[in-house]
Amino acid sequence: MDRLLDLTRQAEARHFWFRGFRGFVAPVMAEVANGRTGLRLLDCGCGTGGNLALLAPFGRAVGFDLSDGGLSTARADGRVVAKADVTRSPFLAESVDVATSFDVLQCVDDDASAVREMARVLRPGGRVVLTLAALDVLSGDHGEVWGEVRRYTPARARRLVEQAGLEVERVQFMFASLLPLMLAVRAVQRLSRPFRRVRDDSDIRVPSTPINQTLSYLVRAEVAVARYLPPPIGSSLLVVAVKPRS
């Protein structure tokens, strides 16, 4: 796992997918913050802590994870992190304004307990922001290497947060522009799997500069359009839910 997190950290700055991820998530975080800069934010399953920089403009952002290597990297970068399990958070009830979890829950056996823990630490009126892998048809090498347990449909994502007592505000697909490419690549991976060993996650290696730039422009265009016209399908889901005040 530490090796995979190290590969992720190397890819985060330049890889077209991570650029797109930030393009989708940053404006949503700004909407959730609604001009506030003194929020308490908690990133559940923070990995190497890279996404804490995405949360930092809105207040004090801390994270937790189980990976010692990821936590060491986060601390070396000056991030405030702790070692903990997403299903057994050590944080006090009603102590944070925003709880996030980015592409983690699909790899957690008990995703329902993880979301209940996020709801528990939220103050009334606080929000959960999640990104989730979408659609079983997109399973492939990436999911096998990372230990993916499931992928989500919008209905499944809604049930997940509602069972924790949260009210859904948004369930939106992301990365529709990459869907044809991903369908083809993942289909080839599944068909060829009996004839090879999956040793690494090739999906998070930065492709050649021309390909990476082209796909970055493609996703950037989708991000711009999605602000006005959410995509009807995609490879990931973005979920925002609120904890009722009473």
d(CA 241, CA 224): 23
Summarised one tens digit per residue, pLDDT across range 44-59 is 999 999 999 999 999 9
Mean pLDDT of the chain: 93
All structural domains of the chain, each given as residue ranges with its CATH number in brackets, are 2-242 (3.40.50.150)
> Pick from 229, 132, 140: which is nearest to 177 by CA?
229
**Top mean-pLDDT range of 3-12, 113-122, 184-193, 224-233:** 113-122
Instruction: Give the pLDDT of residue 104.
Output: 97
